[in-house]
Amino acid sequence: MWRNPYESMGSFSCLGPAPSNIAGLIGAALGFASPKSQGAESHDEKALKKLDKKGLPWSVSPELLQWQSDNDYHVACRWMGDHPKRRPWNVNGCKDLDPVNDNLRMQQQIIEQPRYEVALKLSDEEADRIAKALREPKFPLSLGASFCRAIITNISIENEEPQRDNWAYWETVFAVGDATPLSRHIINAEDAGERIKSDGFWVYPTKYQPGELGHETFVKGYCFAEEPEK
């Protein structure tokens, strides 16, 4: 369930994760908790109120933001499943409109039998650490929603960059195909008052819609509020 934030009346899943979603999986594996989550060791109410005033009611783990900056987080992802299929999923699909009188049935569309390959650019030492964390994650790993558990297999460390064949590619203006809004965590979120920035789309090629060739395999998975789009 990679929810498309531009779908205002339902939860329609994009085909694959955005860079921010993949960063969240890495943070969960490493045990980096959001300050307001159950996994946080302590809750500094004064600091949390400060975040609220900055417009960040649910902030990203500061450890995860630091990790992305320190390691110059670059990521690639591709769809490895068959023909993409979505199906209705309306469990817990109600959104309160009025606490007494009414609510709205949210139409949810989830991806069936998702399979992905993800690549990260890391130093040798950090690659070993992340591989170990993904094998023994500190927190449960989910594919966009808690009811979509992630199963990670075939972890390997390679010395060469993957070939540019069917990896998701970045389009800043217009996307044809199964596209995910390319959202990235803003490293200086407290200064910006925003935690995520969307820069166009990450287009996922499939066997039936192969997309375009010649794009860079990796994208920079984080950003600063003031930097240009690409």
Domain annotation covers residue 172: yes
Domain annotation covers residue 15: yes
* Longest Cα–Cα distance in the chain: 60
Domain annotation covers residue 97: no
Which position has the higher pLDDT, 59 or 155? Answer: 155
Once rounded to an integer, what is the mean pLDDT over residues 143-172?
A: 90
User: Left if phi > 0, otherwise alpha if psi is -120 to 50, otherwise beta: which for 111?
Assistant: beta
Q: What is the pLDDT of residue 37?
A: 61
Q: List pLDDT tens digits, range 88-137.
A: 876 555 555 555 555 555 678 899 999 999 999 999 999 999 999 999 99
Q: What is the pLDDT of residue 213?
A: 72
CATH number at residue 143: 3.30.70
Domain annotation covers residue 160: yes
Domain annotation covers residue 228: no
Would you say 182 and 18 are in contact if contact means Cβ atoms under 8 Å apart? yes
Q: What is the pLDDT of residue 228?
A: 45
Q: Which residues span the domain enclosing 195?
A: 2-91+103-223
Q: What secondary structure letter does DSSP report for 177?
A: S
Domain annotation covers residue 98: no
Q: List pLDDT tens digits, range 30-72.
A: 999 877 666 666 655 565 565 555 555 567 888 999 999 999 9
Q: Nearest 5 degrees, angle CA 221-CA 222-CA 226? A: 140
Rounded Cα–Cα distance for residues 142 and 135 (Å): 14
Once rounded to an integer, what is the mean pLDDT over residues 158-162?
A: 90
Distance from the Cα of residue 100 to its chain's centroid: 35
In whole numbers, what is the pLDDT of the chain averaged over residues? 83
Order of strands across the sheet that contains 86-88: 2-3, 10-14, 107-111, 86-88
Domain annotation covers residue 229: no
Total count of domains within the chain: 1
Domain annotation covers residue 230: no
Once rounded to an integer, what is the mean pLDDT over residues 185-211?
A: 85
